[in-house]
Chains A and B, each alone.
Chain A
Amino acid sequence: MATLVFVESAEGKIKKTSLEAVAYAYAMGDSVTAIALGAVDKAELEAIGKFGATKILSVTDERLNQGVIRAYASVIVQALESEGADTLVLANSSLGTPVAANVAVKIGASLASNVVDLPDTSSGFVVKQSIYTGKAFAFVEMKNKKKVIGIRKNAVELKEVGANGEIINFTANLTDADFGTKITATEKATGDILLPEAEIVVSGGRGMKGPEHWNILEDLAKALGAATACSKPVSDMGWRPHHEHVGQTGVKVAPQLYVAVGISGAIQHLAGVNSSKCIVVINKDPEAPFFKAADYGIVGDAFTIIPKLTEAIKAAK
């Protein structure tokens, strides 16, 4: 059996979570074909092979340089057919998740989102899904023969298992109906580490007192190679852009290290960060609820601790 993996790219580079999707499909034991849409660097495409894809379908229709969801779903359905694949694996994201849903309806597949581990096939086909915004897991049986699996970051370990793969051009039939939505503009922070993909996140809350103090967090983030994030009130007040706010109503992150500075640790905030491997909390209030969810904590004033921490990180390198 073949499994198809939809790999996403940003600025020509394959996203790390998409490589994890390839590794996931490979670990399932089927032969893996990857599909990339739009303009992607050739070396990046070939390198997908290292994570277990034997074939890499490249669809270079110019109209696909933008992530038009229905068009992407159409192309993927055609690729599933031509590969004789019953299963699609992809990384959940603002593009991957809707594409998964559209494909699942088109082909009559069982759909699972936010899968955090490899399937258990000892009796049926059961995946472990993150639910209640990270507060619990569900074991879900996917009943249909066809399956669409959306995975969360860190669902599998990313390791190289092979050599560069073979790129095959794939042409799909697309109609105007596939382009019923038009993307008229994109505003995107370039060059930055994308928050959902980041291995280290430095996050600030209302305790930072104002946007003019974010430079000390940015310096720390730079020293750590981290992305920056914030609590909801911080983005509500416009101190930071909306796409940086994490939590129940914001981005859900699962980095190796989450550093929370001047954040009280409300349950809605924790919901977005509780999948982090290690949590460091810096807060002047020893009673801040966040300490209960932390691995390491420092009680004290962020404005004196953060610059010292940045220096200590630099010194340790």
Chain B
Amino acid sequence: MKILVCISHVPDTTSKINFVDNNTKFDTTGVQYIIGPYDDYALARAIELKESLSSTVTVLNVGLAETEPTIRKALAIGADDAIRVNASPTDSYFVATQIAEHAKGYDLILMGRESIDYNGGVVHSMVGELLGLPSVSPVMKLDIDGTTVKMQREIEGGKESVETSLPMVAGCQEPIAEWKIPNMRGIMSARTKPLSVVEPKAVETAVNFKKYQLPPPKGAVKMVSEDNVAKLVSLLKNEAKVL
């Protein structure tokens, strides 16, 4: 069995977001990059399945050379080899097309439910559609029994049990598996694991990011004494007008 895990390379969840060049470019100053937190869940589940089903795990990232430390981290966590499609991930359709080019022949394609930069939550569905495969997201539990895949998917206010057969695409989230932290041996071996760099397929992007904006700053908080909760109620009613 062959598993492909698609990882995004995104600012750490504690990053302060800023833009430069007249709000047309993301400010990378002081920003730490990580494997997308949901993609990390996908990777963790893939490593578990690798152990129980003796499969191979390949990680794929669409990104420029700066993403290689993130890819090496995925190799240190336990993936066997990696592919980097050498292109800036400009829009979800572009990324999905690049992934679909390399995803043929894999039995299970795992991704995160959404990237935490653009939060589209769509690349997995697009890859599924491009390859004519079922795609399910957000998946919080995934088990394989022969060629049947049994999953639990989160829906508003609850969950759904979903079944399909391999090959398929899943967008993962917790608690599908526990994040894995690379150990020393993993880090050493990651250095020599194969990482192939391939050039992208030429595709037109479907959207164009023109400009960015930060939300307006929040005004100062108004404190209310704990002995006067009625005051809070009246402020919510008459000042904020939310009751």
Q: Tell me whether A101 is interfacial, beta carbon within 8 Å.
A: yes
Chain B positions within 8 Å of A73 at CB level: 129
Interface residues on chain A, size class: 35 or more
Number of A-B contacts (CB under 8 A): 256
User: A142 at the A/B interface (Cβ < 8 Å)?
Assistant: yes
Question: Within 8 Å of chain B (Cβ to Cβ): is A185?
Answer: yes
Q: Tell whether A249 pairs with B38 under 8 Å between CB atoms, given A182-B162, A200-B242.
A: yes
Q: Provide the residues of chain B in CB contact with A294, threshold 8 Å.
A: 221
Main secondary structure of the interface of B (DSSP, over half): mixed
The reply to whether A101 and B154 contact each other, CB–CB distance below 8 Å, is no
Task: Write the B153-196 contact mask toward A (1 if CB under 8 angstroms, else 0).
Answer: 11111111111110000000111000000000000000000000
Are A182's CB and B13's CB within 8 A? no
Decide: A312 and B230 in contact? CB cutoff 8 A: yes
Q: Which single member of A136, A185, A257, A274 contacts B236 (CB below 8 Å)?
A: A257
- Interface of A toward B, CB cutoff 8 Å: 10, 67, 69-70, 73, 92-95, 97-98, 100-102, 104-106, 109-114, 126, 128-144, 177, 180-189, 192, 194-197, 200, 224, 236, 242-243, 248-249, 256-257, 267-268, 271, 274, 277-278, 280-281, 291-301, 304-305, 308-309, 312-313, 315-316
Interface residues of B in 130-159 (CB under 8 A from A): 130, 132, 134-138, 140, 153-159
Q: How far is the CA of A101 from the CA of B174 in the complex (A)?
A: 22
Task: Assess whether B233 is in contact with A313, with CB atoms less than 8 Å apart.
Answer: yes
Q: B78 near A: Cβ within 8 Å?
A: no
Question: Given A98-B122, A184-B162, A296-B240: A267 and B13 within 8 A (CB)?
Answer: yes
Majority-rule SS of A interface residues: mixed
CB-based contact A98/B118 at 8 Å: no
Cβ 8 A contact of B162, one of A114, A137, A181: A181
> A98-B125, A101-B126, A312-B230 are known contacts. Are A140 and B207 too (CB-CB below 8 A)?
yes
Cα distance A251–B241 in the bound complex, in angstroms: 25
**What count of chain B residues pass the 8 Å CB interface test?**
78
Distance between Cα atoms of A315 and B234 in the complex (Å): 11
Given the interface contacts A189-B157, A242-B175, does A139 sit within 8 Å of B213 by beta carbon?
Answer: yes
B236 contacts A280, C-beta separation under 8 Å? yes
Known: A267-B14, A296-B236, A316-B237. A133 touches B207 (CB 8 A): no
CB distance A296 to B206 under 8 Å?
no
User: How near does chain A come to B143, taking the closest CB pair, in angstroms?
Assistant: 13
Give B196-229 as 1s and 0s: 1 = Cβ < 8 Å from A's Cβ atoms: 0000000011111111111100110111111001
* From A97, A98, A296, A297, residue with most partner B Cβ within 10 Å: A98
Closest chain A residue to B125, Cβ basis: A101
Task: Report B-chain residues with C-beta under 8 Å of the C-beta of A300.
Answer: 226
User: Which of B92, B156, B215, B233 contacts A111 (CB under 8 A)?
Assistant: B92
A183-B232 contact in complex given A70-B134, A113-B120, C-beta closer than 8 Å: no
12 A–B contacts, CB within 8 A, in A order: A98-B121, A101-B92, A134-B215, A137-B215, A186-B159, A196-B156, A242-B140, A243-B158, A281-B221, A297-B221, A304-B226, A315-B230
